C-alpha cells in the first residue's frame, strides 16, 4: 500500500491547463475500483449545493479601464451545482458537468493569468494562505475554476472580473463530509502524525480518533518501518494533487464514499466509511485497493 519514502508537500508550481483537462475526463470517470463484491465502476458524486454570486472587481490581468461587465445581472444570482448538471446564469450553466478538486499554487490561479509575482497578486485579492483547493467545473461551454478561500467562500474569474461567491448552508451529506475532510488535508501537511491528525479530529468518528491515538501511544521501533509509513488518507507517499468525490452509498447511520485520487493514468480509489454522529457525517475507516483497512493498520 504505502511505499518506503515520503515526499513532503512544498511550494508547487505545477498546475493543469484547461486544454489537458478535457482529455482526462473520459479516463477519470471510468476508473475501476475493487470493492468487497468485486470490481465496480467509479461513479462521481459531487455534493449538491448552491453558491451565491456576490460582488465583483476588475481582475488584475484585465486592461486599464476595464469595466465590470454584467454586474447587475450576476450579483445575487445563484449557481446550483448538481451531481451532473449546473443551473446558473450564462455562461456557467451546464447540462453535463464534471467536477474535480485540484490543489492550486498562486501561479495556477485563474488559469495562470495573475500578474507576477503571482503570490502578491493573490494576496491582493484576499487570499490568505496558499496553495488553495480549486473546485474545477468542466462543461461543454468551458472550464470554470472556483478557488476555495474556505469551505464556503470562493473566487471565480469570469470575463475580466473576479467574483466572490458564498456557499449556502446545505443539508449534511456523506459526499460533502468527505470533500471537506480532504479539503483540509490537501492544503495542509499531509504527513501522518499526532499534530496533523489533531487538525482533522472534528472530521473523524470518536472511535477512529481513539484508535489513532492508541496507535501513536504505542512505542515504535527505531529499527523498523512503522505500520503506517506514508499518508493513509490517500494511500500513498507521493501526495496527489487532485481528487474526485464518488457517489455515496448510505445505509442508515453508515455510509461509504469512493474517492478517486491523482491523475487518471495512475489514479487510485480509496473507500471512505462514515458514521453519522449527532447528525454529522464523520470518517470511521478507510479501505484500500488491496482490501486492507486503516483500522487494521492501526492495530498492534
CA–chain centroid gap for 215, Å, is 27
pLDDT in tens, 67-92: 655 556 799 999 999 999 999 999 99
Residue whose C-alpha cell reads 470518536 in the numeric block: 206
Domain count, the chain: 2
Same domain, 151 and 113: yes
Domain boundary among 152, 167, 182: 167
**Same domain for 202 and 277?**
yes
**Residues forming beta bridges with residue 138, ordered by sequence position:** 98, 143
Residue 40 lies in a domain: no
User: Could you list the residue range(s) of the whole structural domain that residue 158 is in?
Assistant: 48-167
CB 31 within 8 A of CB 269: yes
Res 265: pLDDT: 79
> What's the pLDDT tens digit per position in 128-179?
999 999 999 999 889 999 999 999 999 999 988 999 999 999 899 999 999 9
pLDDT of 141: 82
Residue 26 lies in a domain: no
Those residues of the chain that have pLDDT short of 70 are 1-40, 64-72
Are residues 161 and 247 both part of a single domain? no
| Helix/strand/coil (H/E/C) assignment for every residue in 266-282 | HCEEEEEEEEEECCEEE
**Nearest-angstrom CA–CA distance, 115 and 71:** 23
**Cell triple for residue 282?**
464523520
- Kindly list the distances between the CA atom of residue 76 and the CA atoms of 67, 82, 91, 125, in Å, as whole numbers in the listed order: 18, 19, 16, 20
| 157 within domain boundaries | yes
Q: Identify whether the C-beta of residue 104 lies closer than 8 Å to the C-beta of residue 131.
A: yes
Residue 78 included in any domain = yes
Closest CA to 259 of 177, 147, 198, 190: 177
Residue 118, domain member (yes or no): yes
Residue 40 confidence (pLDDT): 54
Q: What is the pLDDT of residue 140?
A: 84
* 291, 233: one domain: yes
CB 99 within 8 A of CB 46: yes
CB 165 within 8 A of CB 152: no
Q: What sign for the dihedral angle of Cα 156, 9, 247, 250?
A: negative
Q: Are residues 256 and 161 in the same domain?
A: no
Domain end residue (candidates: 148, 167, 186): 167
13 within domain boundaries: no
pLDDT of residue 276: 98
Which positions ≥6 away from 194 have C-beta within 8 Å?
A: 216
Q: Are residues 177 and 161 in the same domain?
A: no
Q: Angle 14-17-20 (CA atoms, 0-180°, nearest 5)?
A: 115
Same domain assignment for residues 126 and 107? yes
**Domain edge (last residue) among 167, 187, 209:** 167
Cell 470490481 belongs to 39
The pLDDT score that the predictor gives to residue 220 is 83
E strands in 95-248:
98-104, 132-139, 142-150, 153-158, 161-167, 242-245
Q: Which pLDDT score is estimated for 209?
A: 98
Q: How far is CA 253 from the centre of its chain?
A: 24
110 and 192 together in one domain: no
Same domain membership, residue 132 and residue 83: yes
205: in domain: yes
210, 267: one domain: yes
Q: Are residues 251 and 142 in the same domain?
A: no
Instruction: Give the CATH number for residue 190.
Output: 3.10.450.50
SS3 242: strand
Domain shared by 155 and 180, yes or no:
no
Task: Give dist(CA 60, CA 156) in Å, integer.
Answer: 13
Within 8 A by CB and 6+ apart from 45, the residues are 83, 175, 245, 246, 247, 248, 257
Asked whether residue 1 is domain-assigned, the answer is no
**CB distance 97 to 85 below 8 Å:** yes
Amino acid at each position: 500500500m504505502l511505499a518506503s519514502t515520503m515526499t513532503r508537500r512544498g511550494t508547487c508550481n505545477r498546475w493543469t491547463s484547461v486544454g489537458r483537462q478535457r482529455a482526462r475526463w473520459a479516463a477519470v470517470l471510468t476508473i475501476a475500483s475493487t470493492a468487497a463484491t468485486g470490481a465496480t465502476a467509479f461513479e462521481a458524486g459531487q455534493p449538491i449545493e448552491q453558491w451565491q454570486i456576490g460582488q465583483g472587481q476588475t481582475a488584475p490581468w484585465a486592461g486599464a479601464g476595464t469595466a465590470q461587465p454584467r454586474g447587475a445581472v450576476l450579483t445575487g444570482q445563484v449557481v446550483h451545482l448538481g451531481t451532473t448538471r449546473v443551473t446558473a446564469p450564462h455562461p456557467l450553466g451546464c447540462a453535463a458537468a464534471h467536477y474535480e478538486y485540484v490543489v492550486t499554487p498562486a501561479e495556477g490561479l485563474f488559469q495562470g493569468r495573475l500578474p507576477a509575482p503571482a503570490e502578491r497578486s493573490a494576496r491582493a485579492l484576499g487570499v490568505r494562505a496558499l496553495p488553495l483547493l480549486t473546485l474545477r467545473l468542466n462543461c461543454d461551454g468551458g472550464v470554470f475554476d472556483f478557488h476555495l478561500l474556505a469551505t464556503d467562500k470562493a473566487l471565480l474569474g469570469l470575463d475580466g472580473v473576479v467574483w466572490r461567491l458564498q456557499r449556502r448552508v446545505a443539508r449534511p451529506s456523506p459526499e460533502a463530509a468527505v470533500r471537506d475532510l480532504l479539503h483540509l488535508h490537501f492544503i495542509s501537511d499531509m504527513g501522518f502524525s499526532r499534530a496533523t491528525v489533531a487538525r482533522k479530529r472534528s472530521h473523524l468518528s470518536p472511535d477512529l480518533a481513539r484508535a489513532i491515538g492508541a496507535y501513536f501511544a504505542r512505542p515504535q521501533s527505531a529499527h523498523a518501518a512503522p505500520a503506517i509509513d506514508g499518508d493513509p488518507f490517500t494511500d500513498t507517499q507521493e501526495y496527489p494533487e487532485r481528487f474526485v468525490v464518488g457517489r455515496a452509498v448510505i445505509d442508515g447511520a453508515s455510509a461509504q464514499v469512493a474517492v478517486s485520487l491523482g491523475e487518471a493514468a495512475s489514479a487510485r480509489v480509496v473507500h471512505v466509511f462514515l458514521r453519522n454522529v449527532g447528525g454529522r457525517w464523520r470518517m470511521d475507516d478507510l479501505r484500500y485497493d488491496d482490501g486492507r483497512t486503516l483500522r487494521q493498520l492501526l492495530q498492534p
